[in-house]
Amino acid sequence: MAADQLTLTLPARPEFVSLARLTLAGLAARLDYDVDAVEDIRVAVAEAVGLLLREGGADTVVVSAQWSRDQLAVTVSRAGHLLAREAEETGVALLVMEAMVDSAVCETTTAGSVVRLTKQQAL
């Protein structure tokens, strides 16, 4: 079965971090993740979006989620954003995300910056 998908395009402003965080936490709850996993996803998404709000880039942040019966994958991207890989904030945010989800990857491409998060469902 193909994974379902949700995409949010949000203004690249701090006041919209909570919207992304709450939407993905609600989705995780709807997918029957336990309370601790929902909280982990909420924190990781907030860190990912917050990380991409630092420095310049496009006026929007795109948060995409794909899910199947056993996994939730979240991609947060911002066109034109250059992720400072050596910056202390990037390192701290990545450590937090890695503690919360099964996989957290930050990368800068020619199009901009992308953070990929994956959380497995305990069956």
Q: What is the pLDDT of residue 109?
A: 86
Q: What is the pLDDT of residue 90?
A: 78
| E strand spans, the chain | 4-11, 60-68, 71-79, 103-108, 112-120
Mean pLDDT (the chain) is: 91
Q: What is the pLDDT of residue 1?
A: 43
Query: In the chain, what are the domain boundaries?
Result: 4-120
CATH of 4-120, one of 3.30.565.10, 3.30.420.280, 3.40.50.970, 3.40.50.300: 3.30.565.10
With beta carbons less than 8 A apart as the criterion, state whether 44 and 117 touch: yes
Q: Which residues of the chain have pLDDT under 50?
A: 1
Q: What is the pLDDT of residue 71?
A: 96
Q: What is the pLDDT of residue 18?
A: 96
Q: What is the pLDDT of residue 40?
A: 97
With beta carbons less than 8 A apart as the criterion, state whether 8 and 19 touch: yes
